[in-house]
Amino acid sequence: MKVIADNWPVVKGDYIVGNPEARVAVVTLASHLEAYPEVALWGSSKTENLGVEKIIVNTISNSNIRYILVCGAESRGHLAGHSLLAIHANGIDERGRIVGSEGAIPFIENISAEAVERFQQQVVLIDRIGLTDQEEIRKIVDDYKNREEAYPEEPLVVCSLKKRQVSLVAPVSGDVIISGEFVMDAKAGIICPAESL
């Protein structure tokens, strides 16, 4: 069974890739802390919408990731950590709003409810918001990096969902055209087959 998507991580962001086979990823929220290479991904997230979406997309496209340590200083106003915990616990409503989030703009617009559900099933969040002690973070990572098996389903790679209507037969303008078959959603940093637009 395939456990890591081709070209993983599939969405660019403010992170460092460590060991793709590790069971834990670390989100340092608004803090920039020295990366520990024993994790699958290590990076910050300051927003309750695109930041949360990128975490979900990169997590569900690697079935090895079973835990996410949420640490570092919370982002003011946006409450990215609180929103990540809320989407994991409660999901999104029919409008894409993260249920229970107190962030400024807690709306998920570029991924489906199916992707959110997969995220909820695949990982356990370790809530240590506010923790910036590097040694304590490393101890938590060491405790979780080899726990459990990979998630028992193949990686789920999702493309962004467009809210607007697109009536092009083939892409000729707008987002980045990679080839006749692929385009990139520049806002989300996701590469998709042209027909999915």
Segment 93-103, tens digit of pLDDT: 999 999 999 99
Residue 98 near residue 157, CB atoms below 8 Å = no
- Laid out side by side, the sheet with 24-27 consists of 15-17, 41-43, 24-27, 67-72, 124-129
Range of the domain at 113: 15-144
Q: What is the DSSP letter of 37?
A: T
Q: 94 and 40: one domain?
A: yes
- Say if residue 129 is in the same domain as residue 55: yes
pTM of the model: 0.80
Same domain, 29 and 110: yes
Q: How far is CA 162 from CA 10, 156, 178, 188, 190, in A?
A: 18, 18, 18, 11, 12
What residue spans of the chain are helical by DSSP H?
A: 50-60, 80-90, 113-122, 134-144
Say if 6 falls within a structural domain: no
Pair 117, 29 in one domain: yes
For 42-85, write each residue's pLDDT tens digit.
Answer: 999 999 999 999 999 999 999 999 999 999 999 988 999 999 99
Structure tokens at 130: 């506010």
What's the confidence (pLDDT) of residue 67? 98
**Does one domain contain both 29 and 107?**
yes
- Return all residues near 10 (Cβ < 8 A) that are at least 6 apart: 57, 58, 61, 157, 190, 191
Average pLDDT over residues 173-188: 63
Same domain, 174 and 139: no
Instruction: Indicate the number of domains in the chain.
Output: 2
In tens, the pLDDT along 156-169 reads 999 654 444 444 44
